[in-house]
Amino acid sequence: MRVYSSWEREKVRRLQAHGYAVEVLYPGREKGISGTRVRELIRSGAAWDRLVTAVSARIIREVLAAKPGRFERR
């Protein structure tokens, strides 16, 4: 989660208070990877999971299991 304001800091606090692990990405930090690139890697069968957070990788795997062709080009 990127934190730009006091509201984002509050969201982080609330999520953590409910037991969620939150990775805070401050505005000055470059992501270094795009969703487009991750989808390209998934489509090609190349390794992609180390380029995203552990939580993102888990969710993407769940989506792929439920809808195997989800990231195919239309």
Q: Are residues 71 and 48 in the same domain?
A: yes
The answer to whether 64 touches 42, Cβ cutoff 8 Å, is yes
pLDDT score at 68: 81
Predicted model pTM: 0.56
Looking at the fold, whether 43 and 23 belong to one and the same domain comes out as no
Q: What is the pLDDT of residue 29?
A: 56
Closest listed residue to residue 24, CA positions, set 5, 38, 9, 7: 9
Q: What is the DSSP string of the chain?
A: -B--SHHHHHHHHHHHHTT-----B-TTS-----HHHHHHHHHHT---GGGS-HHHHHHHHHHHHHSTTTTS--
Tens of pLDDT, residues 18-28: 999 999 887 65
Residue-wise pLDDT tens digits, 33-69: 888 899 999 999 999 999 998 999 999 999 999 988 7
Predicted pLDDT of residue 41? 94
The total domain count for the chain is 2
Owning domain of residue 19: 1-30
R_g over Cα of the chain: 15
